[in-house]
Amino acid sequence: MRAGDHKRYNEMKQDYSPDILNCLANLSSDEVFTSPELANSMLDLLPQDFFRSSKTRFLDPCAKSGVFLREIAKRLLTGLEAEIPDLQKRIDHIMTRQVFGIACTDLTAEMSRRTLYCSKLANGEYSVTNAFRDQQGNLLYERCQHTWNAQGRCEHCGASKGEYLRTDSRETYAYPFIHKSIKEIFHKDMQFDVIIGNPPYQMSDGGGTGSSAMPIYQYFVQQAKRLNPHFLSMIIPARWYAGGKGLDEFRSEMLNDNRISHLVDYFDSAECFPGVDLSGGVCYFLWDKSHKGECTVTSHQHGKVTTLNRALLEKSSDTFIRFNEAVSIRRRTQNGFISLESCVSARKPFGDIKAKTRGNVKVYAWPENGFINLNEIAQSKDLVDKYKVCIAKAYGERGDFPYLVLGKPFVAEPNSCCTETYLVLKSFDNETEANNMISYVRTKFFRFFVLLKKNTQNAPRGVYQFVPLQDFSHPWTDEMLYKKYGLTQDEIAFIESMIRPME
């Protein structure tokens, strides 16, 4: 090994700038590169003794830039200095016995090898180690194919056959880690102490015009758990907190897994990945197979960081409450709690109807209201002649803090209905009670509890699960609600800081 190569690897022991891995452009919002700073924050959660052992074995199962493996190698290079004093022997040992990667594509395999070995070929002239005989070293990628079932879906990842059955010249997005066994990939059985990485987030499922997407990151987490490492850490979108498309089973598994010792949550993805907009935010976690108990939850929101030891799943909840400050607030509402969700309509309150230019029933619709005949309404005809509090079932904000959370509610008068653009929150026999409910919806208190479950623009019935139902014989204000539930000044201040007034 040449003196220049020794110098390059000695530099790995130091913090230096600029770092090329901070300058990579993301492939897309679902193929996001990890910064060295973020990778090190995740590595900091591990017992640091692991980096002082020559027997610890690490795997990045979804290598893109190679940043995790490089930062692991840097820590091992320092940690093993006493055990293996000779620099070259130490480098050779780390590269051949301790750090392993499975790349996502041919391109990311070459990029990761360049990051880890200082050469896109593990056995190349400029590689920091001469211990490899082949070009891939321990950072592997082998193109593989989906396995289609009778329904035209991949048995491993759910990809659509019509979407991904392509010629050999096109990328298949059949990621090796979730389509093959470890023995098939490394050609021998392997056991890893630590599995860590940033998996692909989603892939097109061929629905609609082909632009719809399904989550895929959960398969990487589940496959990693099957390998039974001592520690597992991955950074993934936070949408799984509320479940949904392909994530309900995964959500239940995660929230009921008391081996998750740490969860670091970013409500705004840009605080974690600058310039990347991932609706619902992102999180990373540490899974420790020897841990049993509460989780240390660290919440990042608009520059404020809080940490709390608590259960991932609160009583009478099926989702994760992501703000630490919100846990005590929600607990205060639980005495005699009845959820507003029980009153909220389904996604199509009156069935599959369209606003027309003529008819005897008014239709609230977007972008323009219309009319329809009563006999054309397929369901909930009993609501037509009631006063109905309606609200848009989708409302999006992008970095607009404090949050409004919901669109403005309105009262739909008797002899009216609405299209699927809106939900009916509740119906009443008189206009006064309907207007009293409007006053409740407009409170910060109401919208704060919606925010706890609303991780995307969509606001279906389920986002109202934490909202307590009230007596609507009188109007409501935030002050009345704060007093009713005995909120502290700190709890009130948190709600006030998160939600802006609805003018």
CATH code for the domain in which residue 344 is found:
3.90.220
Question: Dihedral (C-alpha) 305, 309, 312, 316: value to the nearest 10 degrees?
Answer: -110
414 domain residue, yes or no: yes
196 strand-pairing partners: 233
The pLDDT score that the predictor gives to residue 276 is: 86
205 domain residue, yes or no: no
417 domain residue, yes or no: yes
Which residues touch 311 (CB under 8 Å, ≥6 apart)? 294, 295
400 domain residue, yes or no: yes
485 domain residue, yes or no: yes
Task: Give the whole-angstrom CA distance, residue 296 versus residue 32.
Answer: 25
Task: Give the whole-angstrom CA distance, residue 241 versus residue 250.
Answer: 9
pTM confidence score: 0.86
| Domains held by the chain: number | 1
429 domain residue, yes or no: yes
443 domain residue, yes or no: yes
Which residues touch 157 (CB under 8 Å, ≥6 apart)? 146, 174, 175, 178, 179, 203, 216, 219
pLDDT tens-place values along the chain, 503 residues long: 454 555 555 555 554 445 556 655 555 445 688 999 999 999 999 999 999 999 999 999 999 999 999 999 999 999 999 999 999 999 999 999 999 999 999 999 999 999 999 999 999 999 999 999 999 999 999 888 898 998 888 888 888 887 777 555 456 788 999 999 999 999 999 999 999 999 999 887 655 433 467 899 999 999 999 999 999 999 999 999 988 778 999 999 999 999 999 999 999 898 999 888 888 899 999 999 999 999 999 999 888 999 999 999 988 788 899 899 999 999 999 999 999 999 999 999 999 999 999 999 999 999 999 999 999 998 999 999 999 999 999 997 655 789 999 999 999 999 999 999 999 999 999 999 999 999 999 999 999 999 998 878 889 999 999 999 999 999 999 999 999 999 999 999 999 999 999 98
311 domain residue, yes or no: no
55-94 exposure pattern, b = at least 16 Cβ within 10 A, e = fewer: ebbbbbbbbbbbbbbbbbbbbbbebbeeebeeebebbbbb
215 and 239 Cβ atoms separated by less than 8 Å:
yes
Give residue 454's domain range: 340-498
